[in-house]
Amino acid sequence: MDAVGNGNVSSNVFTVQALFSATVESVYPNPTSGNINIRFSGVVAQTGKVMLVNMAGQVVLRQDLGFQGTTMTLNTSGLAQGVYVLMVNTKTYTYKTRVSIVR
């Protein structure tokens, strides 16, 4: 028995299981005429996709999620002016926001 009367067997093994993942802290500049920067907090290596979707629902830019520090940069120079939905998807996290591209 332990100190409070539970029938547990004492052990020197202590196990902690935790899941850490990145979250989007900010997207800037918005509106943009060039690159979009996505700043993450709680960054760990995790696979996923970053996509820009136009208002017709077409994926116009898709990039594997990858980190160089805490910021990821998307080059939007080949996209038309307009409003897009930025989506960040991993196995455990989804983030969506609107971004505007101006020319």
Span 35-66, pLDDT tens digits: 999 988 876 566 778 999 999 999 999 998 76
Q: Lowest mean pLDDT: which of 2-16, 56-70, 72-86?
A: 2-16
Name the band, by pLDDT with cuts 50, 70 and 90, for residue 75.
very high
Span 11-24, average pLDDT: 56
Residue 58, domain member (yes or no): yes
CATH number reported for the structural domain that contains residue 43 in this entry? 2.60.40.3080
For residue 11, is it within any domain?
no
Q: Say if 4 falls within a structural domain.
A: no
What is the C-alpha to C-alpha distance for residues 37 and 71, in angstroms, rounded to an integer? 7
- Domain containing 33: what range? 23-101
Q: Do residues 39 and 24 make contact, with C-beta atoms less than 8 angstroms apart?
A: yes
pTM of the model: 0.73
Domain count for the chain: 1
Q: Which stretches of the chain are DSSP H helices?
A: none
* In-domain check, residue 95: yes
> Does 95 score more than 80 pLDDT?
yes
Domain-embedded: residue 87: yes
The pLDDT of residue 54 is: 96
Distance between CA atoms of residues 32 and 29, nearest Å: 5
Distance, in Å, from the CA atom of 88 to the CA atom of 23, rounded to the nearest integer, reads 9
29 belongs to a structural domain = yes
Q: For residue 21, is pLDDT > 60?
A: no
Q: In which band, very low, low, confident or very high, does the pLDDT at 72 lie, cut at 50, 70 and 90?
A: confident
